Amino acid sequence: MAQNVEAKVVIIGSGISGIAAAHKLVKAGFQNVRILEATARSGGRIKTGKLGNTMIEIGAAFVHGPSEKNPVFCLARDYNCLDPKALTPENQAVQVEEYPPLVPNWFSSSGQKLNPECMEPALELFHELIENTPQSKNHKKRSWHSVGDFIRSEVRRRTEKRWKGKDKNTRRLLLGAINTMLKEECCSSATSSMEVLDLAGFSVYEHLKGVDCTFPSGFEGLIDNLISELPTNIVTYNRPVRCVHWNNRESGVNPVMVVCDDGEEIVADHVIVTVSLGYLKKHHSTLFSPPLPTLKLQSIHKLGFGTCDKIHVEFNSPWWDADCEIIYLVWDDEDKISDQVSDLHKHWMRKISSFSVLKPSESGSHVLCGWISGYEAEYMEKLPEDEIRRCITELIHTFTGDRTITPKRIMCTQWFHDPWTLGSYSHLAVGCSVQNIKNMMEPLPKRGEQPLQVLFAGEATHSCYYSTVHGALLTGWREADRLISHYSSSSSSH
């Protein structure tokens, strides 16, 4: 391709998809690439923090499917960001779907520690259903409305036979465990309830091989490495964009004008928009002039975007087993299959399905990461820290039966109230299909003298890895490639 492409490219957002696009364009010889970032930092939904002396992930925590097919894994490996175990061929070869083989502790709301083996029937049934959801739109006549609907009706149907011989108490606990797994699944999909997930759409998501792994020194290290390889000052921080004026025929030369909040006007040939779907949902009408085409708007509206938050809690000493990797909480009074709480104000903490055990830090502090999603997460974000601490302390007392356990420090994420993301990640809501994602990634204008004026990247524009960091990264590369091939074909045709 012709070196030193003069085209002016503006990238909106310095998350991983924006950075990935810039990387590829700069390598291909594009001279005028600029990233506009609304906040004071790069990384977007990748954000590493500290709780006391323990490193915590405020944003993305896992490399999902760390194997050769995952570009995030490959980059992290090349930058030496991963621990040796994640790099072993065995680790890369395991097909785990969504469920890494973690060592669990189970507690019930009557203050008892449960035998994990007794919980196995619930886990087995749940995974069997989740991994075999009907994939086509033409289910038998007794169609299920959603993933949640399918799981609820199938749990009822299958447990009648399977758990027939079990006593009432055991059955109640097993149904409680199914609820725990449903809430867990809500966190994976960043949704309020599995009732809002499209059944055919659910199987569109593709899993990569490998046991999920984390970054020992923080996910943000990946961002730092990528940024360090870009030209200095390519990112302008604290520069929100007010409006993208496209199809700007009057200007003659540059078809796009980007207007920043501070009034700065930047002319460009191409703009790559990498803002979150949550941000697009709220601001599309003011962000683009002329407005986006109908198909694009319908897809922005139809695709789901929800919240998954974390509650990091530090303790002086562990109250879980030394080998424990995840703690599951089972409410023994929840025998109706449901992943929603009846009264947000009173019961929001019932949505916390589990706590991941973070590796103990050198300083010897012990930190758990609790998971919560949907309306319950959004409600929690509005509560004062003291109230959250009180509720979490009460929750732990209820499940362990030990009232001497006290959290030392607590820190919650607030993705729903983050004005630049307005949630965590996307899912295929009821009525959604891959076509909606394809509409999302269509560049603008569809027909016109100057093509590729506005391009779209970000996790919600990947057809099978939506909601992931590798999906976001791949979409940044995809849009850069679109421009690169546009200029290589136009230069060869002269």
Q: Among 21-25, 237-241, 334-338, 412-416, name the one with the lowest average pLDDT.
A: 334-338
Selection from 406, 400, 385, 399 nearest residue 317 by Cα = 406
User: Which tokens sit at 233?
Assistant: 């000052």
What confidence tens digit (pLDDT) does each residue in 173-216 have? 999 999 999 999 999 999 999 999 999 999 999 999 998 999 99
Q: Is 140 exposed, middle or buried (0-12, 13-18, 19+ CB in 10 A)?
A: exposed
Q: What topology is assigned to 97-206+308-412 in CATH?
A: Polyamine Oxidase; Chain A, domain 2 (3.90.660)
Q: Is 106 exposed, middle or buried (0-12, 13-18, 19+ CB in 10 A)?
A: buried
3-state secondary structure of 142: coil
CA–CA dist 92, 479 (Å, integer): 28
Q: Helices 116-131 and 168-189, interaxial angle, to 10°?
A: 50
Indicate the pLDDT class of residue 494, thresholds 50, 70 and 90.
very low
CA–CA dist 230, 25 (Å, integer): 10
Domain ranges in the chain are 5-47+215-304+423-492, 97-206+308-412
**pLDDT score of 470 more than 70:** yes
Does domain 5-47+215-304+423-492 sit in CATH 3.40.50.1860? no
Model pTM?
A: 0.95
State the distance between the two ends of the chain, measured CA to CA, in whole angstroms: 13
% of the chain exceeding 90 in pLDDT: 81
Where residue 445 falls (left for φ over 0; alpha for ψ -120 to 50; beta otherwise) is beta
Determine contact, residues 39/238, Cβ cutoff 8 Å. Answer: yes
Strand locations in 279-395, DSSP E? Answer: 288-289, 304-306, 308-315, 326-330, 354-357, 366-373
Average pLDDT of span 214-231: 96
Torsion of CA 230, 233, 237, 239, to 10 degrees: -110
Contacts of 187 (CB under 8 A, 6+ apart): 308, 353, 371, 372, 373
Positive or negative: CA dihedral 20, 236, 454, 472: positive
**pLDDT score of 349 more than 80:** yes
What confidence tens digit (pLDDT) does each residue in 261-286 have? 999 999 999 999 999 999 999 999 99
In angstroms, what is the C-alpha Rg of the chain?
24
CA–CA dist 480, 193 (Å, integer): 36
CA–CA dist 478, 475 (Å, integer): 5
Question: Quick check: do 5-47+215-304+423-492 and 97-206+308-412 share a fold?
Answer: no
**pLDDT score of 342 more than 90:** no
What confidence tens digit (pLDDT) does each residue in 116-157 have? 999 999 999 999 999 888 876 655 545 898 999 999 999 999
- For the chain, what is the mean pLDDT? 93
Helices (H), 58-146: 71-78, 84-87, 89-93, 116-131
Indicate the pLDDT class of residue 239, thresholds 50, 70 and 90.
very high
What confidence tens digit (pLDDT) does each residue in 43-95 have? 999 999 999 889 999 999 999 999 999 999 999 999 999 989 889 998 898 87
Selection from 34, 84, 19, 38 nearest residue 225 by Cα = 19
